[in-house]
A = this chain, B = another copy of it.
Amino acid sequence: MKLNALFLNCTLKNSPEVSNTAAFIDNAEKIFKNLDVKTEVLRVSDYSIKFGTSSDEGDDDDWPVIMEKIKNTDIFIIATPIWRGDRSSIAKMIAERMDSIMETDNRENGQFFTYNKVGGVMVDGNEDGAKNAISRILFDLGEQGFSIPVNAFSYYVGKAGPGKSYIKANGDKHEFTNNMLFLMAHNLMHLAKTLKANPYQTEVKELEKKAKKMSE
């Protein structure tokens, strides 16, 4: 059974505008395909996502569509451009909506449906902010149920100032960034496979009771 990987492209740009983050994802997909991992990319700005923290905010909210795709993936990667030294507002909006993972559709043992899935991060910008964006996203993924393999991220940034972005800077040929992409893909694949065969035994509901008792 093939593994699959889902990328969320959190660019601020609407289709068909050219997205640097999309070009960066292209490069990652090549590596995953060589590893026989099936890939899918969603550009969040192509969907109508409402602000909020619930699983469905009504009014033609497209979030349930994305949620369903997250449910069905093994590997989940948030890809965001940098704006103001931080992830995009769309990436933050997604993080907020993903809070609903922690409240809906839990398994009998209390594990969120994301338990045993793995997460990674890709960040690109013309300058400074990648590590900050990655840090925030890793925290969110970890709390929302994903495991993070070693070296599970890649980024591209240029020199200080309003310089070239990924495409014009030939980021697809930036060796440091590509090296991280290879590590990210291989490690995500390994951990996804390993957790599929060896899922967490954590009894979340039992532990809630133990915590309650410990706190009396």
Contact = CB atoms under 8 A, between A and B. Distances in A.
A127 to B, nearest CB: 7
A160 B171 CA distance: 10
Interface in A196-216: 197-198, 200-202, 204, 207-208, 210-212, 214-216
Contacts of A147: 147-150, 191
Interface in A107-165: 114-115, 127-132, 134-136, 138-140, 142-143, 145-153, 155-162
Contact of A190 (B85, B140, B201, B207): B201
A44 to B, nearest CB: 10
A215 B175 contact: yes
Interface string A179-205: 101110011001100110110111010
A55 interface: no
Interface string A63-84: 0000000000000000000011
Given A12-B53, A96-B83, A114-B150, A138 B128 contact: no
Interface residues of A, number: 82
A200 B191 CA distance: 8
A157 B128 CA distance: 7
14 contacts: A12-B51, A85-B130, A85-B132, A85-B139, A87-B92, A138-B138, A142-B153, A159-B159, A161-B177, A162-B176, A173-B216, A178-B211, A178-B215, A187-B200
